């Protein structure tokens, strides 16, 4: 294939190793791609606050898509260039619909200035110290990049199915780990975010190679001209991708990119 103009990659389970690090080999390949004049873009479910230590791998330049497509960032300045958020009123109504269908569900809300959660949302380690804790209608104070729903007792597949049914077409529900469903505004996906990023860079879909591992990556895998699932990917991702790369712990993204660039 012709060398792409942009490499777009998911992070957790794809570019990052299982311990959350980037190998020296992968870092070196990304650096050479950037030095060649091409672009490397991170497209991730992670919130902006989890990204600071990773920007160096894209040379602190260009654009990135975080929060599953809700936020388009200027990497060099940290400026929010585009926000596609879930408004408070419709979001609270949606949360109550989910709660009625799945008693025991607990919520957190990811806003531009950080996360806030209900007391029963049992993932405090991912929330900075001092993050607000109160009923959802009290802590949801600004449009949300993501509404996060957790259930500590339901079977994960039953929980996902219940949330998806409750959400319907009102929003976009995705998942990457058991027991947690992430809800974005209608139409907001990694594919939509990547398309908007490429529009700013005047790069066409056929000039993009993309890598992913989980169902929330499917929209960008189907949008890009060339797609790879890493070998450890979810079965639905392996079926949808054009090609399969080695696993994340085997530097799968870097291995493919090095071949494409002749490194």
For residue 144, the cross-strand partners are 86, 111
Q: So what's the pLDDT on residue 52?
A: 85
- Whether residue 225 is predicted with pLDDT greater than 70 in this model: the reply is yes
Q: So what's the pLDDT on residue 125?
A: 59
User: What residue ranges do the domains of the chain occupy?
Assistant: 6-83+189-261, 88-185
pLDDT, one tens digit per residue, over 102-150 is 999 999 999 998 899 999 887 655 677 778 999 999 999 999 999 999 9
pLDDT, one tens digit per residue, over 34-69 is 999 999 999 999 988 888 888 988 877 888 999 999
Task: Phi first, then psi: give them for residue 167, nearest 5 degrees.
Answer: -75, -40
**Whether 247 contacts 18, CB under 8 Å:** no
Over pLDDT 90: what percentage of the chain? Answer: 81
pLDDT, one tens digit per residue, over 68-85 is 999 999 998 888 999 999
Instruction: Note the pTM of the prediction, 2 decimals.
Output: 0.92
Q: So what's the pLDDT on residue 124?
A: 57
pLDDT, one tens digit per residue, over 153-200 is 899 999 999 999 999 999 999 988 888 999 999 999 999 999 999 999
CB-based contacts of 30-35 (< 8 A; 24+ apart in sequence): 30/57, 30/58, 30/254, 30/257, 31/59, 32/261, 32/263, 33/7, 33/257, 33/261, 34/58, 34/59, 34/61
The edge-to-edge listing of strands for the beta sheet with 180-185 is 114-117, 106-111, 144-150, 180-185, 171-174
The CATH superfamily label for domain 6-83+189-261 reads HAD superfamily/HAD-like (3.40.50.1000)
Q: How many CB atoms lie within 10 A of CB 242?
A: 15
- Tokens for 100? 């009625």
> In CATH, what is the architecture of 88-185?
2-Layer Sandwich (3.30)
Instruction: Give the pLDDT band (50/70/90) at residue 1.
Output: low
């Amino acid at each position: 294939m012709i060398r792409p103009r942009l490499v777009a990659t998911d992070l957790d389970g794809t570019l990052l190793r299982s311990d959350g690090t980037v190998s020296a080999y992968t870092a070196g390949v990304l650096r050479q791609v950037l030095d060649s004049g091409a672009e490397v873009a991170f497209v991730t479910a992670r919130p902006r606050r989890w990204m600071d230590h990773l920007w160096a791998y894209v040379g602190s330049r260009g654009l990135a898509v975080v929060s599953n497509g809700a936020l388009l960032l200027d990497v060099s300045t940290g400026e929010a260039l585009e926000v596609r958020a879930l408004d408070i009123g419709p979001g609270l109504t949606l949360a109550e619909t989910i709660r009625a269908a799945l008693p025991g569900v607990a919520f957190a809300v990811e806003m531009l200035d950080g996360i806030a959660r209900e007391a029963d949302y049992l993932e405090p380690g991912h929330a900075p110290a001092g993050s607000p804790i109160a009923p959802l209608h009290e802590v949801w104070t600004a449009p949300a990049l993501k509404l996060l729903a957790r259930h500590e007792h339901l079977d994960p597949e039953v929980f996902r199915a219940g949330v998806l049914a409750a959400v319907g077409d009102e929003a976009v529900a995705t998942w990457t780990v058991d027991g947690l469903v992430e809800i974005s505004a209608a139409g907001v996906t990694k594919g939509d975010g990547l398309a908007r990023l490429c529009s700013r860079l005047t790069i066409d879909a056929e000039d993009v190679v993309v890598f992913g591992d989980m169902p929330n990556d499917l929209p960008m895998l189907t949008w890009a001209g060339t797609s790879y699932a890493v070998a450890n990917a979810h079965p639905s991702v392996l079926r949808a991708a054009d090609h399969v790369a080695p696993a994340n712990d085997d530097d799968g993204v870097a291995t493919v990119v090095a071949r494409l660039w002749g490194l």
